[in-house]
Amino acid sequence: MLGYGYATLWEELNRLGKIYPFLHFEMIGQSVMGKPIPALRIGEGARELHMNAAFHANEWITTPLLMQFVEDLACAYARGTAWQGSNIRRLLAEYSLWIVPMVNPDGVDLVLQGVAEEHPYREILLEWNGGCMDFSNWKANIRGVDLNDQFPAHWEEEAARRGELGPGERDYGGEAPLTEPEAAAMAQFTENHAFELVLALHTQGREIYWNYRGYEPPESESYAERLSLASNYKAVKLSESDAGYKDWYIQQFRKPGFTIEVGYGENPLPIETFSSLYFEIVPILLTALDLQAVSR
C-alpha cells in the first residue's frame, strides 16, 4: 500500500459494510470537488462519541489507522469477544461511536496523486506550490485552506498569529470561519449529535492535547492523563493555538475534546510505520471509549 486515498477508503467501506451489516453509513457533506464525505457508526447505544481523521492532507495515514480500528472493533463485536481487555459488546450497547475517517479527501488525493493535466485546479495549485509538482507537504484542502484553522474559536487571533495572507500548502485559515465545505460539514455534523467526547487524529509528536482556554470541563485533564497512561504519549496543555476543530468543540459544548498527534517523525509518516503506529494508538482509542463508560 503506497498510500490510502479516497478510492481506497470507499473500497474499504464497501467491504466492511458487506462483512458487518450492523455498521451504519451516511454522508455528512461534500468536499470542494464534490466528493461525498462519509461517516460510519458502530454501536447501538444512546450515548454518542466521535472520532475523525485526515483533517490535514499529508496526515492521511490517520485514515487507515482509524479504519483498522473500526474493523477490529467490528470483529470483536460480531464475535462477542473481548479486545485488549475491553468488553466490546458492553461498550457498544451503551455507546454509538461515529467515525469520519477522511475529512479532507481532495487534499489527501492531491498529496498522494499530485495534479494530472486534467486536474481542474492544476494551474492555481502549482502556483500556490511554487511551481513544484511534489505536493507531499500539502496540509490544506484543494483551495489552499487549512481545515483545522477554520473553526469559530478565536479564529481572528489564530489568523493573525499565522500571518498567512492567502492560500497555500498550510496555515491559511481562509477569509472567515467555516468558508470551506469540509469544515462546515464537520461543524454541522457535530451540532446534529450530542457527542459526549470527540477525538481527532493528527500526526505527529506522540502528544495528547486536551484543553482550550479554560473552556474544557474539569474531567478533561484526568481523562488526558488516563489516555497518556494507556500509551507512551504525553498529555500536553496547549496555549496560543486557536480555531481548530477540538478547540471549537470544547468552546461550543464544554465537553472533553482531544487531539492525538500520532507517531513521531516528519509528515507524511511513511506507510511502513503503519503497524507500529497502530500498536501505539489502539490503547488510546479503546481507553477513550471507556472514559465515559466509567465516569458516571
What distances in angstroms separate CA 254 from CA 13, 46, 198, one per listed residue? 32, 20, 11
Residues in the chain: 296
Q: Which residues contact 99 (CB under 8 A, 6 or more apart)?
A: 39, 40, 41, 42, 50, 51, 52, 66, 70
Q: Which sign, positive or negative, has the C-alpha torsion 102, 103, 106, 111?
A: negative
Single out the residue of 63, 64, 68, 87 nearest to residue 76, CA to CA.
87
User: Is 221 a residue of the active site?
Assistant: no
194, amino acid identity: A
Report H helices in 129-206: 155-162, 181-191
3-state secondary structure of 110: helix
CA 105 to the chain's CA centroid: 12
Catalytic residue among 169, 182, 261, 280: 261
Single out the residue of 53, 49, 178 nearest to residue 105, CA to CA.
53
Catalytic residues: 261
